[in-house]
């Protein structure tokens, strides 16, 4: 008996693939809300936050110096005008895609295993988009004029070039950020109400009350709410595909060899999902360990994510193969040279490390059920894969640019310390936001876990 | 609207099935102004309390249409009317180039309309609501299920309704001050 009344009868015995046995509405509620309300700030959290915040401050320093001095502090120059900034932009936005896919696409497919991972995956999306969105702005040269991107009736009488993929990008990324924020917040409303009702401290009660906006969980609320969630999922699924497609248009619309290719949109989207699921695993595995959430994020969840990574990884491998094949099949001198240069030129080691990280290692290991169910192995694979995906974008951006059509315009790109500081600093920003999120908001959707308990109990009955 | 000292009667249930059954029986007994509260969405509960359709899809559609037409017009007007530029004889209204932004703005407006429409239909934010005066109502976001018959209901009678609620599988019935 808990102090707030007897437990319900709906305790789930013997559990299901996606939920450990013995849970009831009350137990899932108490377990997840107590991480925020009762357990307090742990030492491990402080250490993580200190490291992340220090990196975030590095980012701020790098950006401040960039604003003072200009983009010349980076290693970019003609012919390689797109350096780390664009690599990081594509990498971060790709990571974000898995969160939307888990919460939107798997909702439409009625997959029950999404319910315990969608919240923090959506948070991951939001923070990854926040990191991504900054890089094109920092890369502008005159970032304080970024509002020229937007169509507003200005006194100069000019308009943005609506036929340019770079402007499409502005609309795609800002729509994506807005919809991700809305989706995440809408998902949080019933849980904020739970926290409001559970909070013991005055400040918590006030803040969660304001955020919950008076949610009562009435039948009318739920009907409108569920319909809105379903519609948002239906809107977000094509959106997520469109965003990375538009990102790939940034490359394909240009006539540079290595960029001008019709395979880019599907191959970019698959790569985004590939790296995004890796990031979900990178976050989920420590979270379930440190916060004792093994009951909710089960081995079966990790196994499923491993399978999705395997499937999307194979699409990415097909993309690499087709890119190489088309370069030779086209008979175009520049295309053929681009591929040969990628494999044997000055950046060849990066290309082969990328093939090892993205294709050779994960796509051999993930076939094994034993490895997909081995938490440590999966965690390491996810880190390897993210490195590989970052290198993939490096190869696409830099090796395609550094050999221009005439040898007199050839060049090399060497990142400076400021490139590295901005990149690593953005990882700090991501983890700063993520750690604040897991400290103050429920990292697993509480009401959807209660729904899962109900469903499992009904199936058993 | 008549003001009542009492907002309604609130019955508390242990299980979602009991709440669903109670809501159906209250509806059969002729009560119309009632609401049910649960910690997670229960299939059929909204129908049982007499709330059959939701207008969220319509609002979403209107938002999407505004975004779609507005988004296209946003690009068509500057390129054809406001600031036409002849570049190599290419058409001013090169509509395939306008599709990506039209699509993004359709999604954006439909999404904003859905969320704010949902909040408006649910009367959120609500700074004060009488149901929170019910004892143990905080458990409505944990593991308890509540049915409220409102005093506004024409059939509402404090004594008789209380007796009716007692015939259901309620754990307890309480009066709520408005």
Rounded to the nearest integer, the mean pLDDT of chain B is 91
Q: Residue B98: list chain A partners with CB under 8 A.
A: 162-163
What does A158-190 look like in DSSP terms, one character per residue? ----TTSHHHHHHHHHHHHHHHHHHHHHHHHHH
Whole-angstrom distance, CA of residue B10 vs CA of residue A217: 14
Residue A30, domain member (yes or no):
no
Whether the pLDDT of residue A6 is over 60: the answer is no
Residue A244, domain member (yes or no):
yes
Nearest alpha-carbon partner for A66 in A310, A378, A422, A382 = A422
CB contact under 8 A, B142 and A219: no
- Nearest chain B residue (CA) to A458: B17
CB < 8 Å from B in window 356-415 of A:
none
Q: Indicate the range of A137-146, A206-215, B1-10, B32-41 predicted with least confidence.
A: B1-10
Whole-angstrom distance, CA of residue A377 vs CA of residue B45: 45
CB contact under 8 A, A157 and B107: no
B6-53+130-177 CATH fold = Alpha-Beta Plaits (3.30.70)
Q: Residue A222: list chain B partners with CB under 8 A.
A: 38, 40-42, 45-46
What does B96-142 look like in DSSP terms, one character per residue? GGGHHHHHHHHHHHHHHHHHHHHHHHTT-S-S--GGGGSTTGGGGGT
| Per-domain boundaries in chain B | 6-53+130-177, 56-121
What does DSSP say about strands B172-177 and B145-150: parallel, antiparallel, or unpaired?
unpaired
Name the burial class of residue A45, with classes exposed (0-12), middle (13-18) and buried (19+) by CB atoms within 10 angstroms of its CB. middle
Interface A–B counts its CB contacts (< 8 A) at 202
- Considering chain A, what percentage of its residues have pLDDT values greater than 90? 79
Whether cis (ω within 30° of 0) applies to the bond prior to A125 is no
Rounded to the nearest integer, the mean pLDDT of chain A is 91
Q: What is the pLDDT of residue B3?
A: 55
The token pair that represents A256 in the structure block? 């540079």
Residue A414 in contact with residue A84, Cβ under 8 Å?
Answer: no
Q: Residue B82: list chain A partners with CB under 8 A.
A: 159
CB contact under 8 A, A219 and B51: yes
Residue A22, domain member (yes or no):
no
The terminus-to-terminus CA distance of chain B in angstroms comes to 13
Minimum-distance CB partner of B129 among A214, A226, A451:
A214
Q: Residue A216: list chain B partners with CB under 8 A.
A: 37, 126, 129, 131-132, 140
Minimum-distance CB partner of B46 among A222, A232, A448:
A222
Count up the domains in chain A and report the number.
Answer: 1
Per-residue confidence band for B57, with pLDDT thresholds at 50, 70 and 90? very high
- Considering chain A, what percentage of its residues have pLDDT values greater than 70? 97
Whole-angstrom distance, CA of residue A383 vs CA of residue A70: 33
Q: Is the dihedral of CA A304, A308, A311, A317 positive or negative?
A: negative
Minimum-distance CB partner of B54 among A171, A224, A235:
A224
Residue A263, domain member (yes or no):
yes
- Nearest chain A residue (CA) to B138: A197
Q: What is the pLDDT of residue A3?
A: 42
- Which of left, alpha, beta for A6 (phi over 0: left; psi -120 to 50: alpha)? beta
Per-residue pLDDT, averaged over A434-461, amounts to 90
CB contact under 8 A, B103 and A8: no
Q: Give yes or no for A150 touching B (CB within 8 A).
A: no
Whether the pLDDT of residue B113 is over 90: the answer is yes
Per-residue pLDDT, averaged over A265-279, amounts to 93
Whole-angstrom distance, CA of residue A36 vs CA of residue A446: 12
Per-residue confidence band for A359, with pLDDT thresholds at 50, 70 and 90? very high
Whether cis (ω within 30° of 0) applies to the bond prior to A158 is no
Whole-angstrom distance, CA of residue B141 vs CA of residue A25: 10
Per-residue pLDDT, averaged over A37-58, amounts to 93
Q: Is the dihedral of CA A129, A132, A136, A139 positive or negative?
A: positive
Q: Residue B56: list chain A partners with CB under 8 A.
A: 224, 227-228, 231
Per-residue pLDDT, averaged over A85-109, amounts to 91
What are the C-alpha distances in Å from A108 to residues A103, A114, A213, A274, B91? 9, 11, 27, 20, 40
Per-residue pLDDT, averaged over A275-281, amounts to 94
Q: CA of A259, closest CA in chain B: separation in Å?
A: 19
Q: Residue A9: list chain B partners with CB under 8 A.
A: 14-15
Whole-angstrom distance, CA of residue A115 vs CA of residue A82: 39
Q: What is the CATH number of the domain that holds A92?
A: 1.20.1630.10
What does DSSP say about strands B172-177 and B34-37: parallel, antiparallel, or unpaired?
unpaired
Q: Give yes or no for A213 touching B (CB within 8 A).
A: yes
- Nearest chain B residue (CA) to A10: B15
Whole-angstrom distance, CA of residue A252 vs CA of residue A242: 14
Mutate one of A100, A231, A450, A458 to test the B interface: name it (highest B CB count within 10 A).
A231
The token pair that represents B31 in the structure block? 């009560």
Minimum-distance CB partner of B115 among A167, A228, A448:
A228
Whether the pLDDT of residue B160 is over 70: the answer is yes
Per-residue confidence band for A9, with pLDDT thresholds at 50, 70 and 90? very low
Minimum-distance CB partner of A162 among B97, B103, B143:
B97
Its ipTM equals: 0.93
Whole-angstrom distance, CA of residue B35 vs CA of residue A363: 53
Mutate one of B49, B61, B111 to test the A interface: name it (highest A CB count within 10 A).
B111
Q: Residue B113: list chain A partners with CB under 8 A.
A: none
Count other C-beta atoms under 10 Å from residue A150's C-beta. Answer: 12
């Amino acid at each position: 008996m808990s102090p707030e009344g007897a437990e319900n009868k709906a305790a789930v015995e013997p559990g299901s693939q996606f939920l450990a046995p013995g849970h009831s509405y009350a137990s899932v509620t108490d377990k997840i809300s107590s991480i925020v309300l009762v357990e307090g700030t742990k030492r491990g959290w402080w250490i993580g936050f200190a490291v992340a915040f220090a990196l975030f401050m590095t980012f701020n320093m790098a950006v401040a110096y960039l604003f003072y001095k200009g983009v010349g502090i980076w290693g970019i120059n003609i012919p390689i005008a797109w350096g780390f900034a664009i690599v990081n932009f594509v990498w971060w936005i790709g990571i974000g895609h898995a969160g939307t896919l888990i919460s939107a696409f798997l909702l439409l497919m009625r997959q029950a295993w999404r319910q315990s991972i969608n919240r923090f995956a959506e948070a991951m999306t939001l923070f990854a988009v926040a990191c991504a969105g900054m890089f094109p702005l920092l890369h502008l040269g005159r970032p304080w004029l970024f509002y020229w991107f937007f169509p507003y009736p200005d006194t100069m009488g000019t308009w943005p070039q609506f036929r340019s993929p770079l402007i499409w990008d502005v609309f795609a990324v800002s729509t994506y950020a807005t919809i991700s924020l809305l989706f995440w917040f809408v998902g949080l409303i019933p849980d904020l109400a739970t926290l409001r009702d559970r909070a013991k401290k005055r400040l918590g009660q006030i803040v969660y009350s304001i955020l919950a906006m008076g949610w009562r969980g009435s039948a009318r609320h739920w009907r409108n709410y569920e319909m809105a969630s379903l519609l948002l999922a239906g809107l977000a699924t094509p959106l997520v595909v469109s965003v990375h497609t538009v990102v790939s248009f940034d490359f394909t619309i240009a006539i540079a060899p290595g960029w001008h290719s019709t395979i880019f949109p599907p191959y970019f989207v698959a790569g985004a999902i590939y790296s995004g699921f890796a990031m979900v695993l990178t976050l989920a595995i420590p979270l379930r360990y440190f916060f004792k959430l093994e009951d909710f994020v089960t081995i079966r969840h990790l196994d499923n994510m491993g399978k999705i990574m395997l499937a999307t990884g194979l699409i990415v491998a097909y993309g690499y193969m087709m890119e190489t094949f088309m370069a030779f099949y086209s008979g175009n001198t520049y295309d053929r040279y681009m591929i040969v240069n990628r494999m044997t030129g000055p950046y060849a080691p990066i290309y082969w490390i990328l093939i090892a990280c993205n294709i050779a290692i994960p796509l051999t290991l993930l076939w094994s059920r034993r490895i997909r169910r081995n938490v440590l192995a999966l965690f390491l694979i996810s880190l390897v894969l993210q490195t590989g995906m970052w290198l993939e974008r490096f190869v696409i951006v830099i090796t395609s640019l550094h050999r221009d059509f005439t040898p007199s315009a050839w060049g090399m790109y060497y990142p400076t310390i400021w490139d590295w500081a901005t990149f690593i600093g953005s990882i700090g920003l991501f983890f700063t936001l993520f750690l604040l999120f897991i400290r103050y908001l429920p990292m697993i959707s509480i009401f959807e876990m209660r729904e899962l308990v109900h469903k499992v109990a009904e199936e058993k009955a | 609207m008549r003001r009542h000292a009492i907002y309604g009667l609130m019955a508390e249930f242990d299980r979602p099935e009991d709440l669903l059954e109670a809501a159906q029986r209250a509806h059969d007994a002729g009560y119309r102004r009632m609401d049910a509260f649960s910690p997670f969405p229960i299939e059929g509960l909204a129908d049982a309390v007499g709330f059959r359709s939701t207008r969220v899809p319509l609002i979403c559609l209107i938002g999407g249409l505004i975004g779609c037409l507005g988004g296209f017009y946003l690009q068509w007007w500057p390129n054809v009317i406001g600031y036409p530029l002849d570049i190599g004889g290419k058409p001013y209204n090169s509509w395939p180039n306008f599709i990506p932004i039209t699509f993004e703005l359709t999604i954006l407006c439909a999404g904003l309309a859905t969320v704010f429409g949902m909040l408006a239909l649910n009367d959120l934010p609500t700074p004060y609501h009488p149901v929170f005066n019910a004892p143990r109502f905080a458990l409505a976001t944990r593991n308890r299920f509540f049915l409220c018959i409102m005093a506004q209901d024409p059939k509402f009678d404090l004594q008789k309704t209380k007796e009716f609620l007692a015939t259901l599988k309620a754990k307890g019935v309480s009066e709520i001050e408005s």
